[in-house]
Amino acid sequence: MAFLLGIDVGTSGAKALIMDENGAVQSVHTEHYPLSTPEPLWSEQDPEHWWEATCACCRAVLAQSEVAPADIRAVGLTGQMHGLVLLDKNDEVLRPAILWNDQRTESQCRDMIARFGVDDLLDLTANPVLPGFTAPKILWVREQEPEIYERIKHFLLPKDYLRFRLTGEFATEVSDASGTSLFDVQAREWSETLFHALDIPLAWAPVCAESTLLTGQVSREAAAATGLAPGTVVVGGAGDQAAQALGSGLSQEGLVSATLGTSGVVFAPTSDPLIDNEGRLHAFCHANPGMWHVMGVMLSAGGSLRWFRDALGDEEMRAEVIGGKSGYDRLAEEAAGIEIGSEGLYFLPYLIGERTPHPDPHARACFIGLTLRHGRAHMARAVFEGVTFGMRDSLELIRDLGIEPAQIRVSGGGAKSAFWRQMLADVFSTEIAQVNVTEGAAFGAALLAGVGAGIYSDVDSACDLIVRVVDTLSPDLERAARYEDHYERFGKLYPALQSHFRKRY
Residue 207 in 3-state DSSP?
strand
Mind listing the pLDDT tens digit for each residue in 14-53? 999 999 999 999 999 999 999 999 998 899 999 999 999 9
Mean pLDDT is lowest, of 59-68, 166-175, 257-266, for 257-266
What's the CA gap between 178 and 70, in Å, rounded?
Answer: 34
Position 325 scores a pLDDT of: 72
Q: Say if residue 505's pLDDT is above 60.
A: no
pTM given for the model: 0.91
Position 502 scores a pLDDT of: 78
Q: What are phi and psi of 230, to 5 degrees?
A: -60, 140
Fold of 282-286+294-428: Nucleotidyltransferase; domain 5 (3.30.420)
Task: Say which of 102, 240, 276, 329 is annotated catalytic.
Answer: 240
Residue 53 in 3-state DSSP?
helix
Tell me which residue of 209, 288, 295 sits closest to 447, measured CA to CA.
288
Q: If you average pLDDT over every residue of the chain, what do you get?
A: 95
Indicate if 282-286+294-428 has the same CATH topology as 3-248+439-456: yes
Tell me which residue of 6, 2, 7 sits closest to 21, measured CA to CA.
2
Position 203 scores a pLDDT of: 98
Mind listing the pLDDT tens digit for each residue in 104-139? 999 999 999 999 999 999 999 999 999 999 999 999
- Find all residues with CB under 8 Å of 33, minimum gap 6, and list them: 12, 13, 14, 45, 46, 49, 50, 52, 53
pLDDT band at 504 (very low <50, low <70, confident <90, very high): low
Fold of 3-248+439-456: Nucleotidyltransferase; domain 5 (3.30.420)
Known catalytic membership, residue 476: no
Where are the chain's structural domains?
Answer: 3-248+439-456, 282-286+294-428
Position 317 scores a pLDDT of: 72
Mind listing the pLDDT tens digit for each residue in 66-96? 999 999 999 999 999 999 999 999 999 999 9
